[in-house]
Amino acid sequence: VTDIIRTRTTSGTFGAGGDEPYHRALRDGHDAVRLRPKGARGSDAGTLLPVSRYLGAATRIERRLIGELPGPVLDIGCGPGRMVAAALHAGHGALGIDVSAAAVALAVDQRLPVIEGSVFDRLPREGLWGSALLIDGNIGIGGAPMRLLRRCAELVALGGWIVVEAHQDATRNTLIDGELVDASGGTSAAFPWAEVGEAALRGYARRAGLEPVHDWRSPGGRVFVAYSTRS
């Protein structure tokens, strides 16, 4: 556990409000949106969102991972739905859920089974999913990793898997009021977010009663860990 920054003041959702830089980045397909602590200054503050990855097809490591999961697969914060498409292609039942109307519209345009809403809402097939995904840093959703892991444990079946992509800095454990900002200065309303590396993730998972069952590592340094509810 390294730096824990607590500057929460609001409870908005990811990238909404303001002038919607996330929505515009999805629409225009550019990677110039940064997620940064609210009010941080400087053009290199925070992390660039790889929006073109979200808009593309699943990568090799993502397809491998999907092929090794128990289905059906629930992709939490699925964006335009590339992991949902990969899960269907691998022969799993699948559903994506996302709070972003713009992301859901892009998925629906591709006829993908994606619904608009929050992971904390009542969802279809609660307790019956073989796997739940928190990819692309989505362990950050809600800014409370333990609460999110516990929610995922309710969503999967006993012995089901929760797959979390850890922050590439293994020691990262940062809780913030985040905001999205684009190159022209467009800024979203603030929302609670977390960045969690492998070391902190281990602790959160243990305290949520989850056991590590598998991991995948890409040559580029992406780390995915699957945790299981005890069966």
Q: Which listed residue (99, 175, 194, 210) binds ligand SAM by CB under 6 A?
A: 99
Closest CA to 160 of 218, 97, 92, 231: 231
Distances (CA, A) of 88 to 50, 63, 82, 204, 214: 23, 11, 10, 30, 21
- Alpha-carbon distance 160 to 121, whole Å? 20
Q: Choose between 136 and 198: whose C-beta lies nearer to ligand SAM.
A: 136
Stretch that binds ligand SAM, among 37-45, 95-103, 179-187, 208-216 (CB under 6 A): 95-103
Examine residue 95 and tell whether it contacts ligand SAM (CB under 6 A): no
- Alpha-carbon distance 179 to 187, whole Å? 7
- Alpha-carbon distance 215 to 196, whole Å? 16
Examine residue 82 and tell whether it contacts ligand SAM (CB under 6 A): yes
Q: Which listed residue (77, 113, 160, 197) binds ligand SAM by CB under 6 A?
A: 77
Site string for ligand SAM, 125-154 (x = CB under 6 A): ----------xxxx--xx------------
Rounded to a whole number, what is the distance in angstroms from the first to the last CA of the chain?
29
| Per-residue burial over 156-166, b = 16 or more CB atoms within 10 Å of its CB, e = otherwise | bbeebbbbbbb
Site string for ligand SAM, 150-189 (x = CB under 6 A): ----------------------------------------
Q: Choose between 151 and 160: whose C-beta lies nearer to ligand SAM.
A: 151
Examine residue 224 and tell whether it contacts ligand SAM (CB under 6 A): no
Q: Choose between 21 and 137: whose C-beta lies nearer to ligand SAM.
A: 137
Helices (H), 44-180: 51-55, 60-67, 82-89, 101-109, 145-155
Examine residue 100 and tell whether it contacts ligand SAM (CB under 6 A): yes
- Which run of H or E residues covers position 24? helix 21-28
Q: Choose between 88 and 206: whose C-beta lies nearer to ligand SAM.
A: 88
Q: DSSP letters along 145-156, please?
A: HHHHHHHHHHHE
Interacting residue ranges for ligand SAM, rule: CB under 6 A: 13-14, 49, 54, 76-80, 82-83, 97-100, 103, 118-120, 135-138, 141-142
